[in-house]
Structure 1
């Protein structure tokens, strides 16, 4: 098998043109918002801090996720360009899975950043220097590649017999595996274990960070200090909710929602790569005063 056919959203083929409108809108808003954050942080020396460097890493993963999927999906919706080569399919799958793993690791690093800023503010600059943030980013990249690499390698060795129609807008690993006529035992076990190791561990570390943060906030007597500490976390909490909620819904419905219509599975999968890249820069732009002020200053100057 040298090529596959991505069919888009099965059952909604007649509405592909209309579906492409929110796809393109979310993608354009996401590009504008994320590039704006990168531009402002890169230009303003005062924003060259660990918190904003981590935000830039998050922005890059958001851009990578949406760009891996949306251009090809729009080609399917607008021009019926459904063909994708085997190597192209596996490359798309590997990039998307790796970026998703890096995205999750960066959210963990951001929760650690908030923990240090609230629980140990006097040592913040020594514990989290820019060099250490860069090392955290490198570790996140290596972890993502090492954990995800076996998935496309296993997919490349699966037999597909005569079936080359992938009912999806992109080469999701589960969607590709489902059309195989080979043994999927290893693939299912590995995917399940990686879900526990990556997502489960990351969520536990984030929860631990916030438990420690809450313990410190409760011990503070001043209500004003309470609000200030909570405000430093609201943007990160919002990003966690926008990132993990569609991801968990998408994976759970794919693995256990046997009675759910196929187009629901696919729409949820696309929400995960469309909505967080669009909302994350808005959340940080609204909830982070320093970033908001710098963006306003640059807009007014222009």
Structure 2
């Protein structure tokens, strides 16, 4: 499986970092950011090696879709199989790149269907040194939400990194189609800032201060966005609240209409927190995620302890 990676080798030996884009075929800011990084990283100033994968899931990209022709979600397929379906083969090939790396960044967006507040996340892995490195990378990336979640979720690129003991972070920005220039710029800057923090590049000019929200949530399903607020039936969805709204139980999140009748189902929050993901593509099937609320377990008292 040829991923067409771009490799930039510095003048001096050092860490090897892998940066992934296009795990989902409908997420465009990461693809543009990786292309920009390929032109901006100066090998004369670089210590170590950068491996860029511009479009990890080419089949899904050609279909403008989250999944490829085999209907598998690459972000749920790791570590994959060399003899499996096309998506399983891609996962297997990327797992090999992860195992050869010292650090990893996986860039995402909400795709066509969802809109997500800019965030950077990592798994709450058991190895203390790996976890500390991930925290440092996430802070250096420079987005306003830093979210540590359970290390038990299978199938992710971060799951493969966890198993290889490779410090890894992922990022989310926006969504809803198109390619926002602000997201491309933030992703490009974030990757360069992580490389500077890892002493692979000179430190960039001081960035503007970030009003940062840091939450670590070790509950079993934390980080699994698609489980939240599933649509009770198919229909036409209209979100009520803007992204980043503060919500409490009973607040209206949106309305799901049956386009052929006058029936409307109102979707209410059952949590206290911040609306950081919402459905923006109106047509939904039963079970589709409509919203995600960022809770602080320290405030709600809902931890695994």
TM superposition score normalised by structure 2:
0.26
Q: Identify, as 1 or 2, the structure richer in strand.
A: 2
Normalized per residue, which structure has more helix?
Answer: 1
Looking at both structures, which has the greater relative contact order when contacts are Cα pairs under 8 Å and sequence separation is at least 6? 1
Q: Which has the larger radius of gyration?
A: 1
